[in-house]
Structure 1
Amino acid sequence: MLLPLLRPPASDPAVEFRLDLFPPALPEIVGALRRLLRDTLRSIGLDSDAPCLVLSELVTNALVHGDGPPTVVLELRCGRLYIAVSDASVAPVVRPDPNDSRTSGRGLDLVAGLADEWGVKLIGSYGKAVWAVVAVGG
């Protein structure tokens, strides 16, 4: 899903970036990653609310339902933030049926509501990546 960073001729390299992160599989990493993304987006004048929530949900799901430490890729291109979180589990991603009485299990509902698009990419026997694309207009 994430492609090499190719800038259109008129793009501003000051507002495009790619971060490849290899955090430990610890619950407190969710907040640290969210703050990193928030501060990065704010420093270039972009809205961080929706991207930070999407990132938090994807990392939390990888920690709770995945296997091993996650890998996180954040790439900003042309006003769209590409977020991918992978883990070593090949177990399928399950999005529960909508139910207003659920007290948990709504993370992918939030991702679907906030992202322009999202999905799951199997990485052979190495696991899977759950990805989302979020507009981050300034």
Structure 2
Amino acid sequence: MRARIATALYWIVAAEFLLGAVTKYWPGTGPLGQDYAAKFTHWGYPAWFRFVVGTLELICSVLLVVPRRPSRFLGAAGLVLVLDGAVTTHMVNHDVITQSLDAPIHLLVAAAIALANWPADWKLLLRPGRWAPQPR
């Protein structure tokens, strides 16, 4: 039962970041009412940088749903890095709290997922065949 709840959490978080990746690729105002090209320019980044962030979110969301601990750890660790940049960007630009509250919350969730899938030894990340598959 506990594994099913964890798997459901992984899928929910992956779906959120998959939706975020799609909206970053959307030209102009997207389905959620956000123009990420304008937002990234306002934040001081080039408009094309949204594709880099969207690609990282897409890769990490796919890694979260792979039922192996190394994949989930790498996906969550990648999201932690992306979300560190998001939190820092919101802080530096003094965005209102309603716009910048979701990044720290997602950062905490991604960090919790990374900690839950933390490898026993860093060498195991280099040889992923050594990790046992996740029990069902």
- TM-score normalised by L of structure 1: 0.31
Q: Which has the higher contact order (CA 8 A, sep 6+)?
A: 1
Structure (1/2) with the larger strand percentage: 1
Alignment TM-score, normalising by the size of structure 2: 0.31
